[in-house]
Amino acid sequence: MPIAALAIGAGVGTAVFTGNAGAETTDVVRTGAAEDGYSSSSRPTYNFGASDTLVAGRQGGDTMVTYLKFKVTDPGTGVKVKGAQVTLNRESRTFPASISLSKVADTAWTEKGLTGKNKPKVGSVVTTVKPKSGATSVTFDVSSVVKGAGTYTFAVTSTVANSPARFRSAEATAGQPTLALTVLRPTTTKPTTPATTAPATPTSPATPTSPTSPTSPATPTSPATEPTGTPPGDCTVDAKLVPSCGVLWGAAAGGFSDVPRDEALKTFERKTGRTSTVYHTYHKGDELFPTKSEIAMTNDPANPRVLMLNWKVAYGTKWANVAAGDQDARIDRLSNYLKTNYTKKFFMVLHHEPENDVNPTAGSGMTAKDYAAMFRHTALRMRANGVDNAVFVVAYMNYEKWNNSTWWGDLYPGDDVVDWVGVDTYNNAQPGGFHYGDFNYMMNRTTDKAKFPGWYTWATTNHPSKPIMVAEWGVYDSSPTVVGKNKADVYATVLPQLAMMPQIKGMVYFETAKDQNGHDIRMDDTPEALAGFQKIAADPRFTVKI
């Protein structure tokens, strides 16, 4: 999945910093390619923008050039970019003995329009590397070019005869191209323990305090007094999969890896000690789903599960085109497949984290209003086609810069087509690090309450009738040396603070050993982390019958 801006966790983030300007911390922030593709001299009219493979080098009389475009947003006030590296992962075969990366002045090219006839001119060589033939990846130092915010385009070439390099593209399921920035950040004030009193009413909760805590997230109450869930067997779901009590528990396991998702989920369940009632998977374009393996996971009588299926219906086109009906054949095809192959209730997330793909320019086809129109059109057409088992979820990013933007409010498609309001949100367990905090901070962080009060507060204030789905959540530790206690401390805040947020009706953990930013979001990267996570999973409030 292309990530077009600086990313934190599975979302994207740029910080506004306060505190001691004299103190700095080092961090590595990665962004994926906004556009990528390759040209072929022997196939000058071909476009390879949708391919999951990039090729660079010579084969017979064919010369192929890989093009990469990265969009780097402002890394934040006082942040210094100290270095930058582009990494490409090998797709197949061995690497040639020499690969070069060059500047490209033209930034207007697009992966959907790139061909051998119109390919941009390759500029001066930035660096040449000589990888081992069996290496799994190759890294180019672009520190001399990437100094801060901007759009950067590069060409990858090789003059070695009959030994082209093959890389994984942004369309691959794992190992996409990345641009890693090494940055120095001013040390921030550390998050505080939030208020522990419950909101006056479920629809208008007390605004939790801004995270400014001393050395670690809030310490949970003792097991004797900690709020616990309803005893097993008492909670069921209604027609919209909203639990009568308790909270749905789920996971998207094995992200950014080659492990089959059903296998990864079963491993996750075995380690955590609880069935993931919600099984989250991802699809795009013309893919038909749920797949046979996904359906099989819902037919396990000993471990009942409900699917959460993310679909990027506009893959290969624009939101405005979907809203205009250009992809109705795609929508109808999936609708017919669902009616024939899957009649159980399931969650349908339409293009999660849309903020990252918004182009606010009028007429771009990718404005926030275009997203809302795409969502509405897709949901209404599926319903008109007789798909009555889809429960529609809109899933935001919880990234402060987007939340503060003037267009963010335009993303919401409307209460009539949204069944659940969802959010993808991640925390850093490194004390004092960027996005460090407890569970309350994860759900309600803000840089300016006057612009945006915090995501949970916004959701419960503006959509009090809608259940909240934490569609992706996770914790990583950016410490130079990972400390097992750090994640455990964050996990320890989840249960007591979840009790203060009664509108949350579902929580789905995103588990991966390495996301687009290099963050380890596994719940078991240390024994202390696993023990802390197992305490969350064991809570009876997550025992809900479906």
Q: Which residue range is the domain that position 125 belongs to?
A: 19-186
Residue 136 is assigned to a structural domain of this protein: yes
Angle at alpha carbon of residue 112, lines to 413 and 334, rounded to 5° = 45
Residue 350 is assigned to a structural domain of this protein: yes
Residue 383's φ and ψ, nearest 5 degrees, are -65, -45
pLDDT tens for 227-242 read 455 455 589 999 999 9
Whether 252 and 120 map to the same domain: the answer is no
Predicted confidence at residue 104, as pLDDT, reads: 97
Last residue of a domain, one of 146, 161, 186: 186
Last residue of a domain, one of 186, 201, 225: 186
Our answer to whether residue 171 is catalytic in this structure is: no
Instruction: Please tell me the total number of residues recorded for the chain in this structure.
Output: 546
Angle at alpha carbon of residue 335, lines to 330 and 340, rounded to 5° = 130
Whole-angstrom distance, CA of residue 315 vs CA of residue 322: 10
Residue 461 is assigned to a structural domain of this protein: no
Letter string b/e over residues 88-99, b meaning 16 or more CB atoms within 10 A of that residue's CB: bbbbeeebbebb
Return the number of other C-beta atoms located less than 10 Å from residue 182's C-beta.
Answer: 15
Backbone region of residue 469 per phi and psi (left: phi > 0; alpha: psi in -120 to 50; beta: other values) = beta
Predicted confidence at residue 23, as pLDDT, reads: 56
Residue 119 is assigned to a structural domain of this protein: yes
Least confident piece of the model among 3-17, 239-253, 336-350: 3-17
Whole-angstrom distance, CA of residue 264 vs CA of residue 271: 11
Whether 53 and 145 map to the same domain: the answer is yes
**DSSP characters for 155-218?**
EEE---TT--EEEE-TTSSS---EEEEEEEEEPPPPPPPPP-SPPSBTTBPPPPPPS--SSSSP
Residue 275 is assigned to a structural domain of this protein: yes
Whether 270 and 400 map to the same domain: the answer is yes
Last residue of a domain, one of 148, 170, 186: 186
| Confidence band, pLDDT 50/70/90 cuts, at residue 73 | confident
Residue 3 is assigned to a structural domain of this protein: no
| CATH number, position 290 | 3.20.20.80
The total of structural domains in the chain comes to 2
| List 111, 171, 294, 353, catalytic entry | 353
| CATH number, position 55 | 2.60.120
| Confidence band, pLDDT 50/70/90 cuts, at residue 2 | very low
Residue 39 has pLDDT above 80, yes or no: yes
Our answer to whether residue 353 is catalytic in this structure is: yes
pTM: 0.63
User: What is the pLDDT of the chain when averaged over all its residues?
Assistant: 87
**pLDDT > 70 fraction of the chain, expressed in percent and rounded:** 86
